[in-house]
Structure 1
Amino acid sequence: MTPAARIAAAIELVERIEGSRTPTDAILADYFRERRYIGSKDRGAVSETVYAYLRRRGQVDWWIARQGWGRVGTTPRARMLGLLMLERGADAGEIAHLFDDGPYHPRRPNPDEQGIVQALAGYPIGHPDQPAWVSANYPEWLHPRLEAQFGTTVADEMAALDVPAPLDLRVNALAGSRDAAITALARDQIRAVPTQWSPWGLRLEKRVALQTVAAWKAGLVEVQDEGSQLVAILLGARAGMRVVDFCAGAGGKTLAIAAGMENKGQIIACDTSAKRLDGATLRLRRAGVHNVERRLMESERDKWVKRHAGAFDRVLVDAPCTGTGTWRRNPDGRWRLSEQDIVELVDLQGRILDSAARLVKPGGRLVYATCSILADENEAQVDRFLAAHPGFRVVPPADAWPADLPNPAAEGPYMRLTPARHGTDGFFAALLERGV
């Protein structure tokens, strides 16, 4: 592909993304699957441009509005022109070369787009006048919530969520050690280093196509952010226990729990999506996990829950959430989120937590977790639950964390992880114990 064709493909993809609720990575995968003739370097270049557009959209919009073109400057093409001018330092000549009506190239800029190009010439993407939500690229309406959460550190926290995430792996303890995985990856010229907190974690220096890597094919490693691994550790599931992963999805945390239980005991992986549960099947098989039963549920109030009330030692509720803690990986999420989404998700989370709590036996424990950094979904949700369920109490992470591991939450009642402080995605987890 020529550079211009790459830009044309990126614009087409952005148009699809902005007109859909489908995650960006899925849209990209479908697009390239339909066009297998596009080589790996071109796929990488197009994807990089798409993600740069999503990460810098707030700053690009600010500049376009500042220069007086806000009325016509919110189309994917206008924003792409802004990105090329502001972040990549293109000039009018380069724009004319890229947008030239050639085969598979973008069409020439219209008069309004030409005006935007001229107005942005020579400016860098950052500026001292940009408010916090502009410089860190998130919606203005979210700022009061984030400022209340992080106080004076909000700028640092949000800046850390505005950079690409590393690729983290979890070593499957059922298949080998972390040292064995490092050695196996090195045979494929992949350098991996141990993560700071998780005893199973590895971090790669650069992204790779793991599906072609021997260690992944053999089930020795799985993709999983270190923060997600720490949620599984907090659950404290041990060999021989009965465990429920109530919102199991594709099974990432289920796999980590099974490895921690040494394949002994029973795990019920529940979800309301047959597609997600089917996706977990291949992962479980590749990892050599055989103590997991998958259960499709009609809703969070499925009759199965009532029939098995009080029967489990551990219950994990990895609740559906805004995903604000994963913006490093999913920058599209910040522009799709609305206040109504938060209201609806908080209601759903409450219903799920209330129902799942019935499964916990006396003396058993439940972990409520989200990949959100918003208090509405986290502390406030736990406060509501405790008020309605006085038989549960909060167990601080410091009281439950393995003594031989570094503790990312040594103080406070909950585990709260952020990219700025821990180098992980943003996660929240509360450990709740049912009274005997």
Structure 2
Amino acid sequence: MTPSARIQTAIEILDDILSGTPAEKALTGWARKSRFAGSKDRAAVRDHVFDALRRRASAALQGGSDDGRGIMLGVLAQDEADLERLFSGDGYGAAPMTEAEVAAVAAKVAEPVDLPDWIVPMLRTDLGTAFPENADALRQRAPVCLRVNLKKTTRDAAQLVLQDDGVTTAPMSQADTALQVLEGPRKVAVGQAYQTGLVELQDVSSQAAIAALPWSDGQRVLDYCAGGGGKLLAIAGRMEGAFFAHDANPDRMQDLPARAARAGVDVEIVAPDSISQHAPFDVVFCDVPCSGSGTWRRTPDAKWRFTAEMLDDLNAVQAQILQEASGLVAQGGMLVYATCSLLAAENGDQVDKFVQENPEWSVVHRQQKTLADGSDGFFFAQFTRV
């Protein structure tokens, strides 16, 4: 595909997304219908689409319209791309710009915050002086981070294997297990280091949270909202113990057995109707469903779909999970509440409410990471019974 054809394809996919199709579904659907597109074409189109979604509001203003073409024009104008070459109309490429589009692109516009209007005041309050830096970071591509599996190797040794795989990395200071991929990110999943369980994909914020908690050999650990199990496997890399995974939707855990086997960890999957039979646990870790606002640069489609009503619903679910999970913790055990959110309503407010309603619990430690810390947004709180 020519560069212009890639742009036209991205425009069509964006229009599909704007009509209501989830981004991943739209991209997958196009890839399945377009066998002629090589891996570099698919990667380039995906990058175009995600860049456009990250900067959707400002790009629509710069491009003169809020459809796929206008947004794509705006993004490329912001990046100072050669618009005449990319909108040449040659072959399957994007049609040449109209006079109105040329004028819109040439105009000086004040770039709006690339976030839903309703959430901006809330984030300004919650983030304070850190809001501008976080808002700007959400417009950028996220770094690719790896977690070294300490059960199998060291960070230095993992780097050497990754180098042989064609993946160049650098240690990250936020966690002793963290590596940032500098070159070859698409080679990670097919490389020896990943295939043999030496490394996993995981943002540094999650790794830092796990590293900050007190782990002891012999503990029975339950990941209450396990999903793919990344947090549980990170915990298992730091200690010897018994590991259990639970999720209200067991289908979310379908990849966990294979991931655990690759990592060299025994994980017992616990069905929702039998979890009380396995209790109590020394540690219950709750990475609860949330807005994902701290990860919106990775899933930019999600921020435009998120609503105030969805936040209210999530708050109710979060409070219920925290209450239920607290009943599974052994006396003297540890309860952990975590989100990948930047919103106080999902973080500190939930923690304060839980302690007020359950005075037998106290907060030992809480921590909020934002994109200004060089990571995704992440919050966690550690509780113990008074």
Q: TM-score, normalised by structure 1?
A: 0.82
CA RMSD, aligned part only?
2.2
- For 2:13, the equivalent position in structure 1 comes to 13
- For 1:417, the equivalent position in structure 2 comes to 369
DSSP-derived class of the 2:176 partner: coil
C-alpha contact (below 8 Å) 2:124/2:131 kept by paired residues: yes
* Matched letter for residue 8 of structure 1: Q
- For 2:205, the equivalent position in structure 1 comes to 227
Note the C-alpha offset of 1:245: 0.1
C-alpha contact (below 8 Å) 2:8/2:93 kept by paired residues: yes
C-alpha contact (below 8 Å) 1:192/1:202 kept by paired residues: yes
CA spacing shift, 1:233–1:351, aligned 2, 3 Å:
same
- For 2:274, the equivalent position in structure 1 comes to 304
CA spacing shift, 1:33–1:267, aligned 2, 3 Å:
farther
Distance 2:32 2:213 in 1: 38
- For 2:76, the equivalent position in structure 1 comes to 84
Note the C-alpha offset of 1:11: 1.9
> What are the ranges of 5 or more consecutive residues in structure 2 without an aligned counterpart?
none
Note the C-alpha offset of 1:42: 1.3
Report 1:75-224 matches (<5 A).
75-91=67-83, 93-94=84-85, 97-98=88-89, 102=91, 104-106=92-94, 108=95, 114=98, 116-123=100-107, 127=109, 129-130=110-111, 134=112, 136-206=113-183, 207-224=185-202
C-alpha contact (below 8 Å) 1:86/1:122 kept by paired residues: no
Note the C-alpha offset of 1:277: 1.1
Distance 2:62 2:93 in 1: 25
Note the C-alpha offset of 1:341: 1.1
* Matched letter for residue 147 of structure 2: R
DSSP-derived class of the 1:202 partner: strand
C-alpha contact (below 8 Å) 2:281/2:330 kept by paired residues: yes
Q: Does 1:346 align with 2:315?
A: yes
Note the C-alpha offset of 1:294: 1.0
Distance 1:378 1:237 in 2: 23
Aligned length: 385
- For 2:53, the equivalent position in structure 1 comes to 54
Q: Does 1:39 align with 2:38?
A: yes
DSSP-derived class of the 1:317 partner: strand
C-alpha contact (below 8 Å) 2:363/2:383 kept by paired residues: yes
Distance 1:190 1:95 in 2: 31
C-alpha contact (below 8 Å) 2:56/2:114 kept by paired residues: yes
- For 1:260, the equivalent position in structure 2 comes to 238
Distance 1:2 1:80 in 2: 16
Distance 2:300 2:147 in 1: 23
- For 1:434, the equivalent position in structure 2 comes to 385
DSSP-derived class of the 2:36 partner: coil
DSSP-derived class of the 1:313 partner: strand
- For 2:351, the equivalent position in structure 1 comes to 382
Note the C-alpha offset of 1:384: 1.2
Note the C-alpha offset of 1:168: 0.6
Note the C-alpha offset of 1:137: 1.1
DSSP-derived class of the 1:284 partner: helix
DSSP-derived class of the 1:230 partner: helix
> What are the ranges of 5 or more consecutive residues in structure 1 without an aligned counterpart?
298-302, 397-413
| Aligned residues with identical type, % of pairs | 38
* Matched letter for residue 295 of structure 2: T
Distance 2:301 2:379 in 1: 21
C-alpha contact (below 8 Å) 1:306/1:358 kept by paired residues: no
C-alpha contact (below 8 Å) 1:360/1:434 kept by paired residues: no
| Alignment deviations for residues 334-369 of structure 1 (CA, whole Å, 9 cap, x no partner) | 211111111111111111111111111111111100
| Alignment deviations for residues 13-66 of structure 1 (CA, whole Å, 9 cap, x no partner) | 2233334464x35653554355443222212221121112112211123345xx
Distance 2:207 2:87 in 1: 48
C-alpha contact (below 8 Å) 1:305/1:356 kept by paired residues: no
C-alpha contact (below 8 Å) 2:145/2:178 kept by paired residues: yes
Q: Does 1:289 align with 2:265?
A: yes
DSSP-derived class of the 2:180 partner: strand
- For 1:270, the equivalent position in structure 2 comes to 246
Note the C-alpha offset of 1:190: 1.9
Note the C-alpha offset of 1:5: 1.9
CA spacing shift, 1:96–1:270, aligned 2, 3 Å:
closer
| Alignment deviations for residues 137-190 of structure 1 (CA, whole Å, 9 cap, x no partner) | 112211111111122331122212221111110111121111110111111232
DSSP-derived class of the 2:300 partner: coil
C-alpha contact (below 8 Å) 1:89/1:122 kept by paired residues: no
C-alpha contact (below 8 Å) 2:167/2:188 kept by paired residues: no
